Structures are given as structure tokens and as C-alpha cells.
Chains A and B, each alone.
Chain A
Amino acid sequence: MPQEHIVKSYDTELKHLDRLIAEMGGQVETLLSSAVKSLIEYDEKRAEKVITDDKKVDALEIAIDAQATRLLALRQPMAADLRMIIASLKISNDLERMGDYAKNISKRVKTLTKVPLLSSTGRSIERMSKMVAEMIRLVLDAYFERNVAMALSVIKQDEDVDLLHTSMFREILTYMMEDPRNITACTHFLFIAKNIERVGDHATNIAEQVYYIVEGRQYDDGHLNLDHSSSVIAEK
């Protein structure tokens, strides 16, 4: 929608909502990369910071909800404006969940530092988190540019994350079978891998909201769920 509103202050308020989403998205990107870094480097201090910084993300969700509610009540938005505001409510909710997953990873880091090291899994986690970080970056760009093609490519990328998650699940099970002393660390790694995979799912949700804002209809779920970790069995 290139044209401006007749009432300029309406544009200002919509832009403010966009700015809040940009800020929240940026915070979540940092949070996730920082959480993964704290894992790779077994850095408890960094993990601690992620846990406290997640509160900023929560506060931004509240700010976005308040701004969206305000716009609904005071401007009676219609059409694309209405869709953008409804989507902002959902996107802030998705971003908040992503922040929670980053926080959860950091909490596990504090536990993992107390048990034997398992460095090979860390690398797979790092690889997966890079894929997901790229998805977050891309989906936020798709949102600001109202770019459906970019949003669809995010949905596509989630398939790779799902595949990687399934293979990591297998890998971690194997480590457990090799040596029962790995079980504590491996269990936490299973959850960490799942957390990152879920962050990818939320990025996909945001991509679907971008589709909704631009096209005016819900995204018809055409993307494949390639996460088969739920059917993986440990074999000798």
C-alpha cells in the first residue's frame, strides 16, 4: 500500500507498530544466536544473560498487543490495514515463543556444564541454528517488504530444518546407546534440537502471516512436514 492515509497520524501509528515488530524480531535473532553460542562455548555467563534478556522480548510483546488494540479501538482499520494489525498480534506471539525457546536452551546450558562434554552434537546444533537464524532474518525482511515470494521461501526452508532435526534425533540416540553416561547430556540436546526446530516452525507461522497480509487469505498449508523424529526408533 504505497499511498498514505489522509489522516497522517494513522500512518505514524501503523509505522510505530512495524517498528515494534522490527525491534522484537531483532531481539529474538540476537537471543537465539547468543543462546546457541553459550551452548557451543559452554558459557554460563552468556546463558544467564539470554535468560534475563528474554524479559525484554516479553515486554515488547505486551507493547505490540497494546499498540494493536489501540489501533483497533481508535482507527477502526479496514482491509490491508486490518490484516496487518491482526497479523501483528500473531507475529508478536510467535516471536515471544521463539524467545522462550532461546531462553530454554540457555537454561539447559547451565545444566550441561555440569555433565561430561559432548562436542560433536554441538556442531550439528550450530548448523541447525544457522539455518533457523537465516529463516528469521528472511521472514522479517519478507514482513517489512510485504514480499510473498520471500515468505514462501522461508516455508520451504523449514523442510530442511525438519530433515536435519530428524537426523540429529537419530544421531543423539546413537550416542546414548554408545555410552549410558551420555544420557543426561543427550536428553538435554534432544530438547535443544527440538527447541530450535520449533523456532523454525514459528518463523514459518510468521511467513504465513505475511502471506495473509498481502494476499488477504490464509496460506493453504502446502508445505511438507519432514520432521519424522516422532517415529525414530533406537536400533543396535
Chain B
Amino acid sequence: MSIQQYIQAPARSVEKPKIRASSVCVSYGDREVLHNIDLDILPRRITALIGPSGCGKSTFLRCINRMNDLISSCKITGEISLDGANIYDKKVDVEVLRRRIGMVFQKPNPFPKSIYDNVAYGIKLHGLTSRKEELDQKVEKSLRRAGLWDEVSDRLGASGTSLSGGQQQRLCIARAIAIEPDVILMDEPCSALDPIATARIEGLLHELKKKYTIVIVTHSMQQAARVSDYTAFFHLGDLVEKGDTETVFTNPKDNRTEAYITGRIG
């Protein structure tokens, strides 16, 4: 490309969103808890959802891999698409969808099995490999990506629950990425961890976003500011403001965002 072409080229090519939510409304019974949410989530970026308790951020996160299907009173309208295909379409197999969109929860929840089996479980369940050698490789690769391999390589047979909280959470991340999803949803992944374990997870997120699209719900605004590329602020069921993280935290447009991030409402 000549310098002239380079100068004339558009500053940033328009990227297709990995996930697109359009006019999403969610109600539990008669009560609408999310109103008309429009949000694009870009591939291989970290998008943070922030807002006070009860603002609907976790509900929105759970809509992305249809976790709310499990709640009978929950009704969803509007559309959420993954790579352009509506995930709420009747033809969508939820199991297949959740293979593409993994999830990590607030409290580490390893299976009461060995470290190895925790990671191998999903791989075997989804029939991703049948050969022992390949399975070993996949387990190692996932544990390495989750930044846990060096700490557990000599005790893969030990129980997952014997690990420290931070290690357990990284084990859950290894388990989530073992089945090679496109998207990882994280619901307060560090709230049960100490600052060092939190820092390790945050460092890991930075590595993981090279390969995965990450959506993280966090109560810590500082964490959202540290790790995310984009931030969406929810308040009382509305998506009040979305934008690149730097702008949202230095110069938010909406007074409610300003009040929340500066510690004036909560």
C-alpha cells in the first residue's frame, strides 16, 4: 500500500459484530427487567457490562447463551444473533449454541473430579476427540491457555476442588475454553478472588481476547476500566451508554453514567 493510499484508507474498517442484540426486552412474569437493548459485541474484544445491582446486566449476559431458558417465567422478545444467525430461532440446538458460547461464573464451580477430568469432560461430552493422546494434548493446551498448567502439571489426578480459589477459577476457564468456543461470557469472575488471583485472571483475559470474544459482567468499575475495550452501562433495565472504555470512564455522555462511575449513585 502506498503512503497515499494509506492516508486515504478509512481509519478503521467496519467490523462485523460477533453478537448483535436488537430491541431485546426481557420480563420475569409481568415485570419487564430489560427494555429495548441494542448492543453490538465485536469479535476478539472484551466488552464489560457495568451497572448497579438489579440493573439487568447479568440478565442480559444470560440471554446471550440462553441460560434464561431455564427460568420458566422469563420471556424474551427482540433478537440476539451470533455471527448473523438468530440464537432464539426454533432450529437452534441450545447445546450446540452453548458449545460456541461458554460461561464462567462468579464462584468457581469445578466438578468434584480430577483436574484432568474437569477439562477433559466437555471435550469428551461433545465428542471432540476419541483418542487418548489427542485428549491429553487438548487438556494441556487448555490448561496452558488458562495460565494454570505450570501449577498443576504434576498433579493432574488431584481433585479440582483441592485447588485455591484463583486456581479453581482458572480451571473453570480452562474447562470453558477446552471445547473451543467463540465467545466466553463471564459473570463476576473475580468477585470471590483476592487481588493477586484477580490480577492473574485479568492478565489472562488480555491473552484470551486474541482468540475469543469476551463479555464480562463486573461490579468493579476499576476492573472494567482495566480489562475491557468496550463498556456498556446498564441502569434500571436500560442500556444507558455504550462506547469505548476510555471514553466512558473519562468523558461519559450521560449524567447517569457519570453519577455511577464517579460514585454518586449506586
Contact = CB atoms under 8 A, between A and B. Distances in A.
Given A216-B250, A216-B251, A217-B251, A81 B262 contact: yes
Given A76-B222, A79-B258, A80-B258, A3 B249 contact: no
Nearest to A83: B250
A5 interface: yes
B129 to A, nearest CB: 45
A4 B261 CA distance: 13
A101 to B, nearest CB: 32
Interface in A67-85: 76-83
B252 interface: yes
Contact of B264 (A1, A77, A83, A217): A1
B259 interface: yes
Contacts of B261: 78-79
A79 B263 contact: no
Contacts of B264: 1, 3-6
B128 interface: no
A78 B249 contact: yes
Interface in B211-266: 221-222, 225, 249-252, 257-259, 261-266
Contacts of A217: 251
The A interface is mostly helix, strand or loop, or mixed, namely: loop
Question: Chain B interface secondary structure, helix, strand, loop or mixed?
Answer: helix
B218 to A, nearest CB: 14
Given A1-B258, A76-B222, A78-B221, A6 B263 contact: yes
Nearest to A7: B263
Interface string A53-96: 00000000000000000000000111111110000000000000
Contacts of B257: 79
A5 B251 contact: no
Contact of A79 (B222, B251, B265, B266): B251
A83 B251 contact: yes
Contacts of A83: 250-251
Nearest to B225: A78
A81 B222 CA distance: 14
Nearest to A3: B264
Of listed B251, B261, B264, B265, residue having the most chain A CB within 10 A: B264
Interface string A112-146: 00000000000000000000000000000000000
Nearest to B253: A216
A10 interface: yes
A222 B225 CA distance: 33
Given A79-B261, A79-B262, 12 more contacts: A1-B262, A3-B259, A5-B264, A6-B264, A6-B266, A7-B263, A78-B262, A78-B263, A79-B249, A80-B258, A82-B249, A83-B250
